[in-house]
Chains A and B, each alone.
Chain A
Amino acid sequence: MSALLEVENLRVRFRTMGPVRAKLAGVADPFLDAVLDVSFRLEAGTTFGLVGESGSGKSTLGRAIMGLVPIHSGRIRFMGMEPKGRSDRAFAGYRRNMAMMFQDPVASLSPRLTVKSLITEPFVIHGLRGRNLDAEARRLLDLVGLPSHFAGRYPHQLSGGQARRVGVARALALEPKLIIADEPTAGLDVSVQGEILNLMVRLQRELGLTYLIITHNLAIVRHICDAMAIMYMGRFVERGPTSAVFAHPAHPYTHGLLAAQPHPDPDRRRETVELTGEVPSLARRPSGCEFHTRCPWAQDRCRAERPQPQSIGPGRELRCHFPLVAPAAAAPATDRMPFQA
């Protein structure tokens, strides 16, 4: 099967200061690498979860795929097309089959437009004025489970869950193949979170959608993603099928993230914090393995030598000199692993 989306050795960098100032300050390389050496394939009809702390580059990767930030090197291929070096017209063609669901649904909806205008705006942008917009609005609202009289409402008249649904409807307007969802349930109550995720899963089944879900909520990834990647300082440190990664996290960072999830059981309180400190500044990347400053099991080799990606099973890739090996064995594991009963 050919992949819907292919990303190869992608690198996205941001300039930190102008060339003159860099020269005066003696900074040879005034850039930050937000995404580094990222490669993965996304098969049609599947869900891929991107996980990491703030500043890990997960949103930048999503935006690069959307064509919202320029690529420095590497390649993105989506349905045979690339997002760079093309005219606006061709670029609209690239974007025609993908849509983005933004993090804060109320902020991403213009407060002056009605729900109908909001969800039919993509037709106008892509020059599909011939469509019956009223009918399209009704169809889209129905698809996301909102009554058709919502078409006349304004964003401030919507609850958090309803605004989220409008965000989904807007993303679905042009019948995209790929939806990039940035924190699709951040800020929602657990009951509403379930509703939105169930809606996304149902739409995937009915419309054959492919999802790239950017989130830091591992519980969600575990339930709805087929494959996942853990990002740290712009790199994929671990990637693989969700069930395999959760069953045996091989990278210490993955393990730490899993251990940091609070578990709603007062008898399973954690007495220690496995992952301390925070992500270092991208301007000062640590030597060797970038995670060594926080890794509880770092050794001399980790400080000196950067680990290269290695395959550790079907679809699984890892960047670590001393992977945690599956159960109980060599892993200097903590007393328990989350998500395992």
Chain B
Amino acid sequence: MAAIAQTAPERIAATDAVLEVRDLSIDFLTPRGPVQALRRVGLTVPRHSTVGVVGESGSGKTTLISAAIRLLPDNAEIRGGEVLFEGQDILRMSPRQLRDLRGRRISMVFQDPMTALNPVLSIGTQMVDIQYRDKGLSTAAKRDRAAEMLRRVGIPDPRQRLDNYPHEFSGGMRQRIAIAMALLGNPELLIADEPTTALDVTMEAQIIHLLRELQKDYKSSILFISHNLGLIAELCDYVVILYAGTVVEQGSVRDVFHRPSHPYTEALLVCDPALLQETTRELPTIPGEVPDLAPPPPGCIFAARCPKVFDRCRVEDPAATWVAEGHMARCHLAAGRT
């Protein structure tokens, strides 16, 4: 297969990848002109690993995962690149192939479990329905599987709770159910889009713990989207920092958190109030705003807000530079250091 050909320099090198995004560029066609939501994005999800994608609102996180399961809105135009799942390009699949993929080999857990679950069907009905592909299995057997999966994600009395409706569960329980449903197909890849944003910290800690355990048991890979650096550090093996549609840095969590090599990553880490040792009433910020991407400014995408900006940054877009093995940064300064 074409999987080994032309290894683009900006992805984590992995021999066995579940998902590989290569040079993906997506525009949104708007009355104002095309908005370049993603530009030459590359990332790899190695098998049995968890990859976190961090980015502020407007960074293209959602566009990226929508592309990974081909749920892009109608005005999205794929300008180039490929999304390889087990070596096959998702962007070139037929609707039939996609149906086989979604919900079975790639599952998704959304931010708000209440909108992901059908409010007028019991949990049991929904969990049986989702197994529609297993024609050989009786409904009773499917209910058994559903109950077992609920038990696995920590729902007490799973058999009785199958008859309950989504509103009869708390937010944390609903998210556990959404995770259970996503895992019913035993997917190779689980995409979790800010799965704990709507939850309390105590519940968040429990869900993160659960995801970690489930990943070990089910040997699936997770693509975890978040803007919470603490959660990324807690859960992920690799991290991809997305800024205004561009991957500015990626590498193992240890490398990126301990030796950030892009000024944006540094700024994000500094801004996290949980990382400030001394208490202060003057919290660090990143001055300025995310640039307009219709079209993006010339030069480095972060130049307008970068504290270390110099002339070259405003004219020349920095290439992806390897600062260490498996650690990429897209910055002229990083290029100077190696």
Contact = CB atoms under 8 A, between A and B. Distances in A.
B253 interface: yes
Interface string A270-299: 101101101000000000000000000000
B230 A263 contact: yes
A264 B233 CA distance: 5
B164 to A, nearest CB: 15
A305 interface: no
B227 A189 contact: yes
Interface residues on A, range: 35 or more
Given A194-B284, A256-B202, A222 B273 contact: yes
B254 to A, nearest CB: 5
Contact of B280 (A223, A260, A339): A223
Contacts of A191: 56, 267-268, 271, 285-286
Interface string B301-321: 000000000000000000000
Interface in B250-292: 253-254, 257-258, 267-269, 271-277, 279-286, 289
A260 B283 contact: no
Contacts of A300: none
B233 A260 contact: no
B233 A278 contact: no
A7 to B, nearest CB: 24
B170 interface: yes
A223 B202 contact: no
A341 interface: yes
A216 to B, nearest CB: 6
Contacts of A267: 254, 258
Contact of A260 (B204, B228, B271): B204
B114 interface: no
Interface string A244-284: 00000000000011011111111111101101101000000
Contact of A257 (B57, B171, B202, B268): B202
25 contacts: A53-B202, A190-B272, A191-B56, A191-B286, A193-B273, A194-B284, A198-B285, A216-B201, A219-B273, A219-B274, A223-B283, A256-B202, A261-B201, A261-B230, A262-B201, A262-B204, A262-B228, A262-B274, A264-B257, A264-B275, A265-B257, A266-B254, A269-B233, A270-B209, A278-B170
7 shortest A-B CB distances, which residue pairs? A262-B230, A194-B283, A191-B286, A219-B273, A194-B285, A189-B56, A264-B229
